[in-house]
Structure 1
Amino acid sequence: MSEQKSSQAKPAPLDSRSPWVVDTRELGRHAGLSRSVQRSVSVETALGVPDVITIDVGSELVLDLMLESVVEGVLVSGTATAIATGHCARCLDPITEDVEVDLTELFAYPGSTTEETTSEEEIPRLVDDRIDLEPIVRDAVVLAFPLAPLCEDDCLGLCVECGVKWADLEPGHGHEKIDPRWAALVERFDDESGEDQAKGPGKQA
């Protein structure tokens, strides 16, 4: 295990100026100590599924977190909230949704048993007593998005014939359906009727 650990590259230092990076030195690796973190972060890369639902660039993502020192690292818990925009999957109307996700993540101390027995993909690490919240927040927010967002739970969508919202159509709305076996005959009849009208009375051959 020590050989495996020694072969791992040292994590790149974190930018302390980033609003996503939190300094944990005041916890001092003393299990039981905690501190709260509240901050608003401007989104620099849109979160979500383009043309479906996203938290757009420039939107504010509000973090309300508790950092607690435990034996193996720093436990982060709390919420992240933001406003997402998109389009209803049924009627395509624009929608706006309040998004709130719960966060719970352990950041492992260097040299801890957790660090030595897990990969960074499984559990993130502290780097120089700092933690980077962005990956865990982004993952949690994206996973919280509905696969098919709706403007209303009972949205009826669009009429497949004319493309108008069912909510805007009169009761009993429908379209005449012609048996495909007769469609060519009906089309020919309509064409002949149009030609007769164009010739006018008395001009028929």
Structure 2
Amino acid sequence: MKKRSEFVYDLRSMGLLGHPGEWERVNATVPAPADLKIEVIGVAEGTPMNLELMFESVSEGIYVSGTVSTVARGEDARTLDEIELPMDVDINEMYVYEQAEGDEDSYVIDRDHLDLEPAIRDAVVMALPFSPSQDGSEEFSYTLGEDIEEGESESDSPFAQLQNLLDEKKES
């Protein structure tokens, strides 16, 4: 028999199924599933993921909110050095009892069980930076040549000659 995923919760045993207004806190540490990554950074399979979640029963289904904390590893986009990036990702998802026609984006409660893995996968992968850097900044900055000092005259500007030509044209 296949072992049930650590991301699947039995709503009946939690007392939430069909009881709007009831809620339950879930604090757990689970191993990360495979393929939580993008090109240069990701969460390795088996890396501990700390779940601090609240399951709230509402008339349409179960609302899950909270935080997933883990560590992503990859390469600095500028230096290609190995980096570790601690992540705290917010989860705010509605799991519905019945999926509306044409709605393919909702998460569905299947046989009284709620599977968090797809929602966690979506949230974590979307939170990964496209250009990770050691200093945490995704902005690209550079410096070329010498800094321009304030107070330089306009005649030192490379555009001074162009400005003179425009001024001459206006005078004529």
Smaller-chain TM-score bracket: 0.7 to 0.9
> TM-score under structure 1 normalisation?
0.62
Moved over 6 A (4+): 154-157
The residue that corresponds to 1:39 in the other structure is 28
Following superposition, the deviation at residue 17 of structure 1 comes to 2.3
Instruction: Identify the residue that residue 90 of structure 1 maps to in structure 2.
Output: 78
Q: Which of 86, 90, 110 lines up with 1:127 in the alignment?
A: 110
Cα deviations by residue, 1:159-203 (Å, 9 ceiling, x for unpaired):
xxxxxxxxxxxxx9xxxxxxxxxxxxxxxxxxxxxxxxxxxxxxx
Q: Shift in Å at residue 127 of structure 1? A: 1.0
What is the CA–CA distance in structure 1 between the aligned matches of 2:88 and 2:105, rounded to whole Å? 23
Question: Structure 2 residue aligned with 1:151, among 110, 120, 134?
Answer: 134
Which one of the candidate residues 48, 58, 61 is aligned to 1:73?
A: 61
RMSD between aligned alpha carbons? 2.4
**Matched AA of 2:81:** D
Q: 1:155 to 1:34 in 2, by over 3 A?
A: closer
Structure 2 CA distance for aligned equivalents of residues 155 and 141 of structure 1: 21
TM-score normalised over the length of structure 2: 0.73
| Residue 75 to residue 16, structure 1, CA distance change in 2 (3 Å) | farther
- What residue number does 1:105 align with? 93
Query: Is it true that 1:24 corresponds to 2:11 in the alignment?
Result: yes
How many residue pairs get aligned? The number is 139
SS in 2 for 1:137: helix
Which protein has the bigger strand share? Answer: 2
Distance of 2:139 and 2:65 partners within structure 1: 35
Normalized per residue, the structure richer in helix is: 1
Gaps of 5+ in 2: 147-172
The verdict on how the C-alpha distance between 1:77 and 1:156 changes in structure 2, with shifts beyond 3 A counting, is closer
CA distance in 2, matches of 1:130, 1:60: 23
Displacement of 1:68 in angstroms is 0.5
Q: Which residue pairs with 1:60 in the alignment?
A: 48
Post-superposition CA distance 1:88-125 (Å, at most 9, x none): 11111111110111001111114xxxx23453x22111
For residue 35 of structure 1, report the CA deviation from its aligned partner: 0.4
TM-aligned CA distance change 1:118 to 1:66, over 3 Å: farther
Percent identical pairs in the alignment equals 37
Bigger Rg over Cα: 1
TM-aligned CA distance change 1:156 to 1:126, over 3 Å: closer
- Structure 1 residues 41 and 154, CA, compared in 2 at 3 Å: closer, same or farther? closer
CA shift for structure 1 position 16: 7.4
Partner SS state of residue 39, structure 1? strand
Distance in 1 separating the partners of 2:38 and 2:72:
11
Residues in 2 aligned to 1:135 and 1:146: alpha-carbon distance in whole angstroms: 19
